[in-house]
Amino acid sequence: MSDRVLDAAPTPSRKRDPDASRQRILAAATDEFASKGFGDARVDEIARRAGINKRMLYHYFGSKDGLFQAALEEIYETICHAGQALELAAIEPRPGLAKLVDFVWDYYAANPQSITLLNTENLHDARHLRFSVRTQAIHPPFEELIQDLLDRGVAADEFRPDLGAVDLYITIVGLVYYYLSNSATLSVFFGRDLRAPKPLKNWRRHVHETIERLVLKNPGSSAAEIDRGLVRPYK
Amino acid sequence: MSDRVLDAAPTPSRKRDPDASRQRILAAATDEFASKGFGDARVDEIARRAGINKRMLYHYFGSKDGLFQAALEEIYETICHAGQALELAAIEPRPGLAKLVDFVWDYYAANPQSITLLNTENLHDARHLRFSVRTQAIHPPFEELIQDLLDRGVAADEFRPDLGAVDLYITIVGLVYYYLSNSATLSVFFGRDLRAPKPLKNWRRHVHETIERLVLKNPGSSAAEIDRGLVRPYK
DNA sequence: GCTTTTATTCACCGTCTAGTTACTTATGAC
DNA sequence: GTCATAAGTAACTAGACGGTGAATAAAAGC
């Protein structure tokens, strides 16, 4: 009938693989949203990066907003599942605390996309996450996980008895997340590259120390500090 | 010559006030960028909010990017100047530390725009701030300010001797900033409203406590904790 | 083999948006 | 007063961008 039909006829047409396509779109979207934010992210660019036709993106996710929500939900689930795999219950309170700090640090250092995606969602007042039925079904494991760790530490007379699990979690993540999220402006501010290996390593150590001092009943006697001869145990 | 000219002729034409116009544009831009991010911010909306013609915006700031940069530079200067006005040198180390925490908390709690603007700039890898000649001339006061505070605290045998000023600053701001910046997603995460007055007050107290424990040589004897009967001084 | 379903492609569109052109008028210097 | 300059306005545009209609081909069901 028209040139359109004739042109469309000899399409090479890739082998079908809906799951893979969906996944490629999602990965490309996560990249694009994480590196540009919502408004500056380009739907055409996501399609190009995913190597699929833009139409598919609307087929699977409905809209740019739907796509952002899907990317965010995936990140949210990843974080929750990683937390569940932590298995803190099996180890002693103090090394458990250190392991928790390492986990948070390693996760966000390895997944900076999570940070920018979460920042974007906070800019939008969490309106995607708040109304997401998919994520509401997932109970974040952190509160119980940490409460148990704290309880055991208190029982062993090592931890303070008056610290809440949520406060501790936010403290750990805050120290890790803020440093990584704002290292660009902080580096300008202080005139040094905070993302160089040495400052990064230093900050990781600093977070460990800060958290120990916050949680331990008797922080002055922190093993690390005794080793460095800075304090001496007074028991 | 044309209808255009005839239509344009009978303009009401406001009294001239370039400085006020510039300021109104900047304030509107700060609002708009802070609430929507860069890509979702609308130049037309900024002009509308400022009550000026869009053309003026380009007259003063050249482009959307130029406008964002100007808004950011203003925030940066505001933060620096506020820091300079702190006058920590005049007071004792321990109340000085508490005053510093209060200052950071009060500033970001009262200026949430600073947070979202800085987040947006970090998303862009600080490319506006990095090349801003205007802000490079301003030396941020925090490092020396805090170093002096720490030095005096160490001399008085109250503070740890091995804590860097930059680490301390980032710790304080991190705890404050992360909580405020991410309260929306954190509230969903933990199923409670972290922006309600009570949690906010609690977090402020928590930051004070965390910082005291981090900085004090002898954190177990924190006055606040002694008051609450949680610990007893062991000197 | 035939039908139904669904993944995929191509061509296309209406609107929105940063930025501009062309012009007017207030203000201050002389 | 007048003249240069800067502040201000309205109308306009080129292109980008999110989103869609319709046709097609590959699987899946029978």
8 A C-beta contact, residue A84 and residue A39 = no
* Statement to judge: residues A54 and A102 lie in one domain: no
CA distance B50 to B57: 10
B123 touches chain A (CB under 8 A): yes
CATH of the domain at B181: 1.10.357.10
Query: Is residue A234 a part of any domain in this protein?
Result: no
8 A C-beta contact, residue B205 and residue B176 = no
* Statement to judge: residues B79 and B47 lie in one domain: no
* Statement to judge: residues A28 and A98 lie in one domain: no
Instruction: Look at residue A218 in the predicted model and tell me its pLDDT.
Output: 84
Do residue B179 and residue A174 have CB atoms under 8 angstroms apart? yes
Instruction: Look at residue B20 in the predicted model and tell me its pLDDT.
Output: 80
Instruction: Look at residue B228 in the predicted model and tell me its pLDDT.
Output: 45
* Statement to judge: residues B187 and B98 lie in one domain: yes
Do residue A123 and residue B36 have CB atoms under 8 angstroms apart? yes
CA nearest to B39, candidates A201, A38, A225 = A38
A31 CB-near residues (< 8 Å, 6+ apart): A49, A113
Give the distance from residue A93's alpha carbon to the nearest chain B alpha carbon, in angstroms. 19
Question: Which residues of chain B are modeled with pLDDT < 50?
Answer: 1-13, 222-235
Instruction: Look at residue B83 in the predicted model and tell me its pLDDT.
Output: 87
Query: Is residue A134 a part of any domain in this protein?
Result: yes
* Statement to judge: residues A31 and A132 lie in one domain: no
* Statement to judge: residues A47 and A90 lie in one domain: no
CA distance B148 to B139: 16
Give A220's contacts in chain B (Cβ within 8 Å).
217-220
Give the distance from residue A2's alpha carbon to the nearest chain B alpha carbon, in angstroms. 39
Query: Is residue A233 a part of any domain in this protein?
Result: no
Chain C nucleotides with an atom closer than 7 Å to a protein C-beta: 6-12, 17-27
Q: What are phi and psi of B162, to 5 degrees?
A: -110, 35
Last residue of a domain, one of B36, B62, B88: B62
Instruction: Look at residue A3 in the predicted model and tell me its pLDDT.
Output: 35
* Statement to judge: residues B53 and B69 lie in one domain: no
* Statement to judge: residues B220 and B186 lie in one domain: yes
Q: Which tokens sit at A6?
A: 């004739």
Last residue of a domain, one of A10, A32, A62: A62
In terms of residue numbers, what domain contains B28?
1-62
* Statement to judge: residues A143 and A213 lie in one domain: yes
8 A C-beta contact, residue A120 and residue A37 = yes
Query: Residue B59, CB, less than 7 Å from strand D?
Result: yes
Query: Is residue B121 a part of any domain in this protein?
Result: yes
CA angle B152, B155, B160 (to 5 degrees): 90
Q: Which of A39, A185, A219 sits opposite B39 (nearest CB)?
A: A39
Query: Residue B3, CB, less than 7 Å from strand C?
Result: no
- Of the residues B181, B195, B222, B232, the best mutation for testing chain A's interface (the one with the most A CB atoms within 10 Å of its CB) is B181
3-state secondary structure of A37: helix
CA distance A88 to A34: 30
CA distance A158 to B85: 41
* Statement to judge: residues B12 and B82 lie in one domain: no
* Statement to judge: residues A20 and A47 lie in one domain: yes
Query: Is residue A235 a part of any domain in this protein?
Result: no
Instruction: Look at residue B223 in the predicted model and tell me its pLDDT.
Output: 47
Q: Which tokens sit at B191?
A: 């199923």
Q: Tell me the sheet residues that pair with B216.
A: B159
Q: Tell me the sheet residues that pair with B100.
A: none
CA distance B4 to B158: 75
CATH of the domain at A34: 1.10.10.60
* Statement to judge: residues A84 and A155 lie in one domain: yes
Query: Is residue B233 a part of any domain in this protein?
Result: no
Query: Is residue A13 a part of any domain in this protein?
Result: yes
Å from the B42 CA to the C16 C1' = 10
Last residue of a domain, one of B43, B62, B81: B62
Instruction: Look at residue B8 in the predicted model and tell me its pLDDT.
Output: 36
Do residue B219 and residue A213 have CB atoms under 8 angstroms apart? yes
A202 touches chain B (CB under 8 A): yes
Instruction: Look at residue B84 in the predicted model and tell me its pLDDT.
Output: 85
Q: List the pLDDT tens digit at each of the 235 positions of chain A.
A: 333 333 333 344 456 677 788 999 999 999 999 999 999 999 999 999 999 999 999 999 999 999 999 999 999 999 999 888 888 999 999 999 999 999 999 999 999 999 999 999 999 999 999 999 888 888 888 899 999 999 999 999 999 999 999 999 999 999 999 999 999 999 999 999 999 999 999 999 999 999 999 999 987 554 444 444 444 443 3
Query: Is residue A187 a part of any domain in this protein?
Result: yes
CA distance A180 to A183: 5
CA distance A130 to B190: 12
Tally the domains of chain B. Answer: 2
Give A83's contacts in chain B (Cβ within 8 Å).
none
A92 CB-near residues (< 8 Å, 6+ apart): A152, A156
- Of the residues A124, A171, A208, A228, the best mutation for testing chain B's interface (the one with the most B CB atoms within 10 Å of its CB) is A171
